[in-house]
């Protein structure tokens, strides 16, 4: 497993930044081009996992798509699709999934639309219902309202459809885009339309291809009869406003001056309004419509704010990180739909803020973030590119921010890390090939380490044994002579040494987790396994084998001491763990097999 450490900027910087083309515009342009006669050149597209998922599906359907250095050229149309069976994989791309699902209802053949396991948690039921109202024949193959599905219709009938607006604007965009190939379509929004700016992006893209959508205040959409896509020959994708938020955020928290190029202040992309939030927080913002750029200058003392981000959920994480450095409590409201993105971004953002020392609170549709002094932490990305990029921002200001699985940025911004480096941000990439066992004394770390060593052919390093060997006395004797503070200082030397080793199994002392610096060093090259054991079981084992274990508290008996220590360390073990394994009902052999299975 790869990880990445970010080292903070030594001083404020002044620079211009180019971000990729907007992924939302790219997917829409590819979808519409496949329904437009003649060859369409899509210039400055995002070349990422999401866009390649869309291109691959079009090619699988027999629609010719050429790729050049800075363009996709769609030569074919859905009229080229043959009447046969197709299996089409959207990977984990939500935009592709919703766009393609609608498109497949109006092409020949029996089409199976599938996805990677992670996307099977994201609903498509409202879109399927809307398409069925227009005559689509769609069958769920596993779970109701989720991919995979089988689509057997090849045309729809004009008419009206109703869909709930709460979950995703992508359902509405998908229906709108195929409408010119169907006839007159009316779409009614039940409840409130979420992510309204993405509707604007769809309407703007369709307009560029000659089709008018009547938007009745986001409650009702009408595509009149007789509308047909016209070939613009070239469609130029503007810069991605969501990608821009990461760099505007860096400017905000580091007092830097960063200008994002090729983006219109009047863009239909709702996330250009992110700079207006930063302005309220104290930043200086300059917009240039003529030259198409937006600049942010950060200030030393950022102020908290309260904001409704229902329209721009993808930049919530960026604001959350900026808010961590602001004075006061920032409240982000109306973001319930954040929970059905690539991951539950509401909970994920809350969790990672805790790791950097920000005691945020969360409700079903809001985050409250008290600005403070964030510190380093190991950031879990949940397979979500936006979690990786937004929390990377914090690393430009504070040290010891480590991003797990940084390659997830390939989903929408493959050159993100390269762009940071070009700005002068120091980045260190390393492989995690150590296994680090943590847990209470008596949880079986040493025994399990030896079993894993035999199975995986990795060398074992036991931190307690290493300490004894290096200092020439037992831990009990050392603590009795020098005290716990000196022991922890010596333990740091051991950890610093051991953390530089590779391809090892490291059995730690029970208290190593109380020092975050120790754990960050060990986790830099290691996957952390928490051997979770109930206190009753720990007590039972220690009564049988007392071992060399000095007292940690002034409690009268071992049971009380164990309970107090467990209560203090439980959250630390859980917070640092990549994998948690219960050890009270399994043999060391079974525990080792469980660990190996989860690692795989």
Q: Would you state the pLDDT for residue 403?
A: 93
- Grouping H, G, I as helix, E, B as strand and the rest as coil, residue 62 is coil
Residue 282 has pLDDT above 60, yes or no: yes
Report pLDDT for 599.
Answer: 81
pLDDT band at 278 (very low <50, low <70, confident <90, very high): very high
Residue 142: how many CB atoms within 10 A of its CB? 10
Q: Using alpha carbons only, how large is the chain's radius of gyration in Å?
A: 27
Which class in CATH covers the domain with range 434-599? alpha beta
* CA–CA separation, 171 and 239 (whole Å): 23
426 burial type by CB count under 10 A (0-12 exposed, 13-18 middle, 19+ buried): middle
- pLDDT of residue 546 exceeding 80: no
> Tokens 């009990």 map to which residue?
476
The predicted structure's pLDDT at residue 218: 97
Residues that are catalytic: 314
Angstrom distances, CA of residue 506 to CA of 253, 431, 526, 528: 37, 16, 9, 9
Q: Which residues contact 589 (CB under 8 A, 6 or more apart)?
A: 451
pLDDT at position 561: 83
Q: Quote the tokens at residue 151.
A: 């689509």
List the domain boundaries for the chain.
2-20+238-431, 23-236, 434-599
Peptide bond into 109 cis (omega under 30): no
Whether the CB-CB separation of 140 and 207 falls below 8 Å is answered with: no
Residue among 100, 103, 109 at smallest CA distance from 147: 100
pLDDT of residue 558: 81
Which pair of tokens denotes residue 328?
A: 């006061």
Checking if the pLDDT of 286 tops 60, the result is yes
Separation CA 488–CA 366 (nearest Å): 40
Distance between the two ends of the chain, CA-based, in angstroms?
A: 11
Question: How much is the pLDDT for 489?
Answer: 85
The two structure tokens encoding residue 144: 């109701």
Q: How far apart are CA 312 and CA 309, in angstroms?
A: 5
274-301 burial: b if 16+ Cβ within 10 Å, else e? bbebbeebbbebeeeeeebbbbbbbbee
What confidence tier does 354 reach under pLDDT thresholds 50, 70, 90? very high
Beta pairing class for 214-215 and 2-7: unpaired
The pLDDT score that the predictor gives to residue 550 is: 60
pLDDT band at 441 (very low <50, low <70, confident <90, very high): confident
Whole-angstrom distance, CA of residue 181 vs CA of residue 553: 75
At 69 the three-state DSSP class reads coil
Query: Is residue 598 pLDDT above 60, yes or no?
Result: yes
pLDDT value at residue 600:
67
Asked if residues 462 and 436 have their Cβ atoms less than 8 Å apart, the reply is no
Q: How many Å apart are CA 25 and CA 426, to the nearest integer? A: 32
Report CA-CA distances (Å) from 222 to 33, 185, 213, 217, 451: 21, 6, 6, 11, 66
Strand ranges, E, within 115-213: 138-140, 149-151, 159-164, 185-190
d(CA 103, CA 483): 70
**Rounded to an integer, what distance in angstroms lies between the CA atom of residue 465 and that of residue 435?**
17
Residue-wise pLDDT tens digits, 322-347: 999 999 999 999 999 898 888 899 99
pLDDT the model gives residue 517: 84
Continuous segment of H or E residues that includes residue 233: none
In this prediction, residue 259 carries a pLDDT of: 98
pLDDT in tens, 375-404: 998 898 998 999 999 999 999 999 989 998
Residues 95 and 27: beta-carbon distance below 8 Å = yes
Choice between 597 and 56, residue whose per-residue pLDDT is larger: 56
Q: Left, alpha or beta for 382 (phi > 0: left; psi -120 to 50: alpha)?
A: left
**Residue 369 and residue 3: Cα distance in Å, rounded?**
27
72 versus 550: the higher-pLDDT residue is 72
pLDDT on residue 554: 65
> Of 154-163, 540-549, 568-577, which range is least confident?
540-549
Give the model confidence (pLDDT) of 231-267 as tens digits.
999 999 999 999 999 999 999 999 999 999 999 999 9
- CATH placement of domain 2-20+238-431: 3.65.10.10
Cβ atoms within 10 A of the Cβ of 510, count?
21
Q: Predicted confidence band at 551 (pLDDT cuts at 50, 70, 90)? A: low
Is residue 548 over pLDDT 60? no
CA atoms 521, 527, 528, 531: torsion sign: negative
The per-residue pLDDT for 547 is 59
Calpha distance 523→378 (Å, rounded) = 8
Please report the pLDDT score of residue 118 as a whole number. 83
Please provide residue 580's backbone torsions phi and psi, each rounded to the nearest 5 degrees.
Answer: -115, 130
Q: Above 60 in pLDDT, residue 438?
A: yes
Residue 545 has pLDDT above 80, yes or no: no
> Has residue 480 got a pLDDT over 70?
yes
pLDDT at 553: 57
Residue 389 near residue 403 (C-beta atoms within 8 A): no
- Say yes or no to pLDDT of 493 above 90: no
- How distant is the alpha carbon of residue 471 from its chain centre? 44
**pLDDT at position 504:** 92
Report the candidate in 296, 418, 324 with the shortest Cα–Cα distance to residue 12.
Answer: 296
Asked whether the CA dihedral 247, 251, 253, 256 is positive or negative, the reply is positive
Going by C-alpha positions, the residue among 329, 331, 325 that lies closest to residue 309 is 331
Pull the structure tokens for residue 37. Answer: 């006669």
Name beta bridge partners: 149: 113, 140
Distances from the Cα of 15 to the Cα of 284, 328, 581, angstroms: 15, 29, 47
Per-residue confidence at 84, pLDDT binned at 50, 70, 90? very high
pLDDT > 60? residue 413: yes
Residue 485 has pLDDT above 90, yes or no: no
Q: Does domain 23-236 have CATH number 3.40.350.10?
A: no
Calculate the average pLDDT of the chain. Answer: 93
> Does 2-20+238-431 match 434-599 in CATH topology?
no
Share of the chain above pLDDT 70, in %: 98
Q: For residue 544, what are the CA distances in angstroms to 201, 389, 448, 539?
A: 68, 49, 18, 9
Per-residue pLDDT averaged across 163-189, rounded?
Answer: 97
pLDDT value at residue 430:
77
250 burial via Cβ count (<10 Å: 0-12, 13-18, 19+): buried
Q: What angle do CA 105, 106, 107 make, to 5 degrees?
A: 100
Question: Is the torsion defined by CA of 191, 335, 576, 543 positive or negative?
Answer: negative
């Amino acid at each position: 497993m790869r990880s990445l450490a970010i080292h903070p900027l030594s001083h404020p910087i002044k620079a211009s930044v180019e971000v990729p083309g907007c992924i939302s515009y790219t997917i829409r342009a590819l979808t519409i081009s496949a329904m437009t006669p003649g060859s369409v050149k899509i210039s400055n597209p995002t070349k990422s996992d999401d866009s390649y998922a869309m291109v691959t599906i079009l090619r699988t359907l027999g629609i010719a798509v050429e790729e050049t250095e800075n363009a996709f050229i769609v030569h074919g149309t859905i009229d080229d699709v043959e009447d046969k069976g197709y299996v089409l994989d959207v990977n984990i791309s939500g935009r592709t999934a919703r766009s393609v699902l609608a498109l497949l209802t109006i092409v020949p053949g029996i089409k199976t639309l599938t996805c990677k396991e992670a996307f099977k948690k994201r609903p498509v039921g409202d879109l399927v219902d809307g398409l069925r109202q227009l005559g689509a024949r769609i069958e769920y193959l596993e779970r109701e309202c989720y991919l995979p599905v089988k689509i057997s219709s090849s045309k729809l009938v004009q008419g009206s459809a109703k869909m709930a607006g709460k979950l995703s604007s992508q359902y509405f965009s998908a229906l709108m885009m195929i409408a010119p190939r169907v006839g007159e379509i009316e779409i009614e929004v039940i409840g409130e339309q979420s992510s309204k700016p993405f509707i604007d992006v769809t309407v703007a893209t369709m307009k560029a291809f000659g089709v008018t959508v009547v938007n009745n205040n986001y409650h009702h959409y009408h595509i009149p009869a007789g509308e047909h896509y016209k070939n613009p020959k070239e469609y130029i994708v503007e810069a991605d406003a969501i990608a821009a938020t990461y760099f505007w955020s860096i400017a905000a928290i580091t007092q830097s001056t960063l200008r994002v190029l090729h983006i219109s202040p009047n863009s239909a992309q709702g996330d250009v309004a992110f700079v207006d939030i930063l302005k309220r927080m104290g930043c200086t913002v300059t917009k240039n419509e003529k030259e198409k750029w937006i600049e942010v200058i950060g200030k030393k003392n950022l102020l908290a704010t309260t904001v409704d981000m229902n329209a721009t959920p993808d930049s919530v994480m960026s604001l959350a990180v900026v808010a961590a450095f602001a004075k006061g409590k920032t409240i982000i409201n109306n973001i319930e739909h954040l929970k059905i993105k690539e991951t539950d971004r509401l909970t994920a953002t809350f969790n990672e803020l805790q790791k950097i020392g920000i005691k945020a609170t969360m409700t079903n549709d809001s985050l409250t973030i008290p600005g403070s002094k964030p510190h380093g932490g190991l950031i879990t990305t949940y397979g979500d590119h936006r979690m990786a990029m937004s929390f990377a921002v914090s690393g430009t200001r504070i040290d010891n921010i480590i991003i797990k699985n940084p390659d997830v940025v390939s989903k929408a911004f493959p050159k993100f890390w390269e762009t940071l480096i070009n700005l002068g941000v120091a980045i260190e990439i390393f492989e995690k090939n150590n296994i680090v066992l943590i847990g209470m004394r008596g949880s079986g770390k040493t025994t399990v380490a030896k079993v894993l060593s035999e199975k995986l052919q990795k060398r074992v390093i036991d931190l307690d044994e290493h300490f004894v060997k290096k200092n020439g006395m037992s831990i009990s004797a050392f603590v009795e002579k020098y005290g716990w503070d000196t022991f922890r200082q010596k333990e740091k030397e051991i950890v610093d040494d051991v953390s530089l080793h590779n391809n090892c199994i490291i059995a730690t002392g029970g208290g190593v987790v109380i020092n975050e610096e120790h754990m960050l060093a060990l986790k830099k090259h290691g996957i952390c396994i928490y051997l979770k054991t109930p206190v009753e079981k720990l007590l039972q084992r220690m009564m049988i084998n007392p071992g060399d274990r000095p007292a940690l508290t002034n409690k009268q008996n071992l049971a009380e001491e164990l309970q107090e220590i467990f209560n203090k360390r439980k959250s630390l073990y859980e917070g640092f763990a990549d994998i948690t394994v219960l050890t009270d009902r399994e043999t060391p052999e079974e525990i080792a097999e469980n660990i190996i299975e989860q690692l795989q």
